Structure 1
Amino acid sequence: MSADMSNTAGAKLRPEDVTALRRSVRGPVLLPESEGYEAECATYNLTCALRPTVVVGAAGEADVREAVRFATAHGLPVAVKSAAHQMVSAAEGGLLITTRRMAGISVDPRNRTVRAEAGVRWSEVLPRTAEFGLAPAAGSAPEVGVVGYTLGGGQSPLLGRTHGYAADQVRRLTVVTADGELRQVTPQSEPELFWALLGGKGNFGVVTEIEFEVFPVPRFHGGGIYFAGEHLARVLDAWRGWLPTVGEDMTSSIGIQRLPDIPVLPEPLRGAFVVHLRIGYLGSAAEGEALLAPLRACAPALLDLVEDRPFAAIGEIHRDPVDPIPYVDRSLCLEDFSEETAQALVKLTGAESGCTLANVEIRALGGAFDREPEFPNSVASRGLPFAVFGFALGAPDRAEELRAELARVMDGLAPWAAERNMVNFLSPDEATGAAGVRAVYGAERYDRLAAAKKRYDPANVFRFNHNIPPA
């Protein structure tokens, strides 16, 4: 180890500083030359490498407090890594706190609440809540971390249209703020920080534990129906006409996918261009089958995987990739999904488009996603009816080529796009400056967040994110 370890923030760490940090925490403290540094910094998106000056693998909230205090004392900005929906930069010149060792979960079936520590993933919560016939507002990918997902809103493909965003279900957060203090944050104790944390992502501190409400939902009727890509126009037309006929207990989306030729996929899907209709219905199987009849009739299915399932099988709706992959992505929300919008989407992504994106999906929102929760929060996408997310697979040396194709498709939908967006879907390439972040949140919400930032993080310690500088 060299005598000085410089970083882009301008601070310098001496060997004795790092030794003191190691003595003050239970978890590992790693430098770029340390064994285990690469594994601790590993990300799901292989194109987004993390290169912090120092990493603290927090073993508990006391470690988080020590890490934040150390960082502020030495002029280091702080980044947090759990499992997705949190990091948007390489964290160069900063201190990275990883939370995977903080894995505590407790379920209170009487009060229908769950407490989860910072490193917990939905895949770990689902079997625990299933023991009591309860269900959380988990997302489409169970391997995503609970905290990062919830701080950005959290859009469930099963419970969202009936109960709202995952953020709407939160009752308490334990958070370490930039001053190194541990705070118990509820709507009653600190309403402004509670409001800012839930929607403001990682701008306001390190959440070490979260408590949220769960619901008595033991099963659902759903999964996916795959159609050949040549039927895209017919499927979109049928789906558009069908959406106004179903209630809030039905959630759906469509993925336009060019799938890889890999053994994990069933034969009809390997290397295929497909339209993936995703269904999550909370009513009975018989009612679900009747509701789906018009969609099934719109085109012949390659594969129909819709069936009755336990709630813990929520990941079978989208069937998102589990293993780390290299990709670039972009997103937007739509004000409307008209016939003209659907025609543009076919032109941009259909069989004759030349599109090479692995997936372009459109998710129908509405219902409780539009309603203000009992305890208000700063979720930016409330009231927007559709979300679009696209990603392209490829090695980092193809990133510019892939970004260009993403831009072609997403910019082609610009006539129907809203200024505001779903914060969890923002890629590192989006909302890169203060004006962009302001547009995503809307002016009134952004100004309130900036005021909260000034109160709780005036030095902008937590800035490795879609940053909201203190006003």
Structure 2
Amino acid sequence: MSNLEARTEPILPQSSFADLDARTTGTVAVPGDEAYDAFVSPWNLAIPVRPAAVVAARSAQDVVEAVRFAADNGMHVAPQATGHGAIAELVTELLVVTKDLDECVVHPEGWARVGAGVKWIRVVEAAAPFGLAPLSGSITDVGIVGYTTGGGLGPMARTYGMASDKVRAIEVVTGDGVLRRATPTEHPELFFALRGGKGMLGIVTAIEFDLVHQPTFYGGSLWFDGDDAAAVIERWQQWSADLPELATTSFALFQLPDIPGVPPALAGRLTLSVRYVWTGEAEEGEKRFAAIRESAPVLLDDVALKPYTAIDSVHTDPLDPTPAYEAAAVLTDFPAEAAAALLALNGPGSASPQILVEVRQMGGAIAHGGEHESAFDSRGAAYSLLIVGIAGVPGVQSHASAIVKALEPWVGGHRLPNFTFAPEDYADAYGEFTSARLRRAIRTYDPRGVMAIGHVLFA
């Protein structure tokens, strides 16, 4: 049981939040109010987000007032922008919704500034006319702040590193209720902790980051029948081992439903998608990818020279809110034995209940790190594993656990903060040195333990 779960009495009478409403320009809602459900609903519909109250902030000052109100009333606070990555145990008291902080400015010289409510798609589209691109996620519908403060493992990560490596400045209301600007030289320990430490120190209101010159890429997804998964994965293992840092790749076993929007060739069957992004010359990228094209008969080939605005075609992540059950790990290696163990549980004839089982190759610029050190401790991982099923489907949770268990000989290192789905698992995302620095930063910037995730981990 976490520190947050232990509280059983009401936080405050609902009428007490009238004071907070008077102090903010945004909307304050409690259970029963018409606006409440719309504000608190996360992207993952299986996560029951039901705080005692929610503040829909319209300004950084609204966030300041919300954090100070929480501190004065002994409450814990959690932020939510787009609703991705919600953890129910962290959102029991006061939720601060930042989706209306929607500033978005792209500077042609190569950097951007955005508010906490902005999704990647706005920056992708605004940067494209200048031949620039952000280190966006596997789908551009995800919010920038939550993704980046968790590190940000994107489809160009082996070339350019993590999204957090490109951050120039973060404006944040820390747990002591002060709006601060953190840079490598202003509050450097806060700057360290916010890049990888998620929302432990405060609520981000704006973020500034560098863009890369990447008007186009060669890539997309190549789909095979599930019966050919063993042969394709074997080829992928051999081929990816020799890839330079200009390439980022992954594969995923899919079981897509037969519904509108799913190509008929992929619907209602087990398929394997190999994802590929080549950031160099397209001709060289095509030559490099030939070995995968030749590995088995192809169902659907969407690998081509594309503008960066088509980056979502690589991972083909779902756009609409979904009731999902998710599990994840990082791997030290992915040899033939690991592939066999994975296919035994999720390959042909396995009757797997999972919609997606993904293995991403890491290394490259991920391992090198950025110019400034950060609280992202997963750089030593060789691969990441992600499992997604539909919540409530019989056996989906136990089956996901069985997959992780089967790959246990190769599980090791610090888990990705953005692929962490329970408060207690965050402890595995940080090493001893980083944990000590996070604790010191919390004592400095959130001495009363107002921020929910920091309180759970380090109280």
> Distance between the aligned counterparts of 2:411 and 2:310, measured in 1?
32
Q: Percent identity?
A: 37
Corresponding residue number in structure 1 for 2:69: 70
Query: Matched residue of 2:20: which SS?
Result: helix
> Distance between the aligned counterparts of 1:466 and 1:73, measured in 2?
16
Out of 363-372 and 461-470, give the one that drifted further.
Answer: 461-470
Q: Deviations over 1:230-264 (max 9, x none)?
A: 11111111011101222111111000111111111
Corresponding residue number in structure 1 for 2:60: 61
Corresponding residue number in structure 2 for 1:438: 427
Describe the shift of the 1:194–1:62 C-alpha distance in structure 2 as closer, same or farther (beyond 3 A): same
Out of 145-154 and 93-102, give the one that drifted further.
Answer: 93-102
Query: Matched residue of 2:22: which SS?
Result: helix
Q: Deviations over 1:306-329 (max 9, x none)?
A: 111111111110110000111111
**2:446 is aligned with 1:457:** yes
Structure 1 residue aligned with 2:367, among 367, 370, 383?
370
Q: Is the contact between residue 80 and residue 86 of structure 1 (CA under 8 Å) also seen in structure 2?
A: no
Q: Is the contact between residue 79 and residue 87 of structure 1 (CA under 8 Å) also seen in structure 2?
A: no
Describe the shift of the 1:93–1:233 C-alpha distance in structure 2 as closer, same or farther (beyond 3 A): closer
> Distance between the aligned counterparts of 1:54 and 1:420, measured in 2?
34
Q: Is the contact between residue 173 and residue 184 of structure 1 (CA under 8 Å) also seen in structure 2?
A: yes
Corresponding residue number in structure 2 for 1:4: none
**2:406 is aligned with 1:412:** yes
Structure 2 residue aligned with 1:220, among 217, 227, 232?
217
Aligned pairs (5 A) from 1:120-131: 120-131=118-129
Describe the shift of the 1:424–1:57 C-alpha distance in structure 2 as closer, same or farther (beyond 3 A): same
> How far did residue 85 of structure 1 move?
4.8
* TM norm structure 1: 0.93
- Equivalenced residues, count: 453
> Distance between the aligned counterparts of 1:83 and 1:443, measured in 2?
31
**2:309 is aligned with 1:305:** no
Q: Is the contact between residue 231 and residue 295 of structure 2 (CA under 8 Å) also seen in structure 1?
A: yes
Q: Deviations over 1:403-432 (max 9, x none)?
A: 11111111111110014111101113xxx4
Structure 2 residue aligned with 1:403, among 384, 397, 404?
397
**2:129 is aligned with 1:140:** no
Q: Is the contact between residue 173 and residue 204 of structure 2 (CA under 8 Å) also seen in structure 1?
A: yes
The one-letter code of the counterpart of 2:412 is A
Structure 1 residue aligned with 2:437, among 440, 444, 448?
448
Q: Is the contact between residue 59 and residue 101 of structure 2 (CA under 8 Å) also seen in structure 1?
A: yes
Query: Matched residue of 1:97: which SS?
Result: strand
Q: Deviations over 1:335-383 (max 9, x none)?
A: 0111211221221211132222110000001111001311110102112
> Distance between the aligned counterparts of 1:83 and 1:293, measured in 2?
38
> How far did residue 150 of structure 1 move?
0.2
The one-letter code of the counterpart of 1:310 is P
The one-letter code of the counterpart of 1:59 is R
Aligned pairs (5 A) from 1:326-405: 326-395=323-392, 398=393, 401-405=395-399
> Distance between the aligned counterparts of 1:221 and 1:24, measured in 2?
51
Out of 312-321 and 453-462, give the one that drifted further.
Answer: 453-462
Describe the shift of the 1:145–1:49 C-alpha distance in structure 2 as closer, same or farther (beyond 3 A): same
Query: Matched residue of 1:468: which SS?
Result: helix
> Distance between the aligned counterparts of 1:198 and 1:8, measured in 2?
33
**2:166 is aligned with 1:177:** no
> How far did residue 447 of structure 1 move?
2.0
Q: What is the root-mean-square deviation in Å for CA atoms of aligned residues?
A: 1.6
Q: Deviations over 1:154-200 (max 9, x none)?
A: 01112x11221000000100000111111011110111111011101
> Distance between the aligned counterparts of 1:271 and 1:183, measured in 2?
51
Q: Deviations over 1:79-125 (max 9, x none)?
A: 11112454312555411100111111011112x11001000000111
Unaligned runs of 5+ in 2: 1-6
Structure 1 residue aligned with 2:248, among 248, 251, 263?
251
Unaligned runs of 5+ in 1: 1-6
Query: Matched residue of 1:292: which SS?
Result: helix
Q: Is the contact between residue 203 and residue 462 of structure 1 (CA under 8 Å) also seen in structure 2?
A: yes
Q: Is the contact between residue 134 and residue 211 of structure 2 (CA under 8 Å) also seen in structure 1?
A: yes
> How far did residue 437 of structure 1 move?
3.2
Corresponding residue number in structure 2 for 1:107: 106
> Distance between the aligned counterparts of 1:190 and 1:231, measured in 2?
53
Corresponding residue number in structure 2 for 1:42: 41
Q: Deviations over 1:18-51 (max 9, x none)?
A: 2222121111110101111101111111110211
Q: Is the contact between residue 78 and residue 91 of structure 2 (CA under 8 Å) also seen in structure 1?
A: no
The one-letter code of the counterpart of 1:344 is A
Corresponding residue number in structure 1 for 2:3: none
Structure 1 residue aligned with 2:417, among 403, 418, 423?
423
> How far did residue 438 of structure 1 move?
3.0
> Distance between the aligned counterparts of 2:8 and 2:270, measured in 1?
44
Corresponding residue number in structure 2 for 1:82: 81
The one-letter code of the counterpart of 1:454 is R
> Distance between the aligned counterparts of 1:61 and 1:324, measured in 2?
27
Q: Is the contact between residue 357 and residue 391 of structure 1 (CA under 8 Å) also seen in structure 2?
A: yes
> Distance between the aligned counterparts of 1:155 and 1:13, measured in 2?
42
Q: Is the contact between residue 86 and residue 202 of structure 1 (CA under 8 Å) also seen in structure 2?
A: no
**2:11 is aligned with 1:11:** yes
> How far did residue 145 of structure 1 move?
0.3
Aligned pairs (5 A) from 1:23-42: 23-42=22-41
Describe the shift of the 1:93–1:360 C-alpha distance in structure 2 as closer, same or farther (beyond 3 A): closer
Query: Matched residue of 1:71: which SS?
Result: helix
Describe the shift of the 1:52–1:91 C-alpha distance in structure 2 as closer, same or farther (beyond 3 A): farther
Describe the shift of the 1:365–1:426 C-alpha distance in structure 2 as closer, same or farther (beyond 3 A): same
Corresponding residue number in structure 2 for 1:165: 162
Q: Is the contact between residue 417 and residue 426 of structure 2 (CA under 8 Å) also seen in structure 1?
A: no
> Distance between the aligned counterparts of 1:277 and 1:417, measured in 2?
22
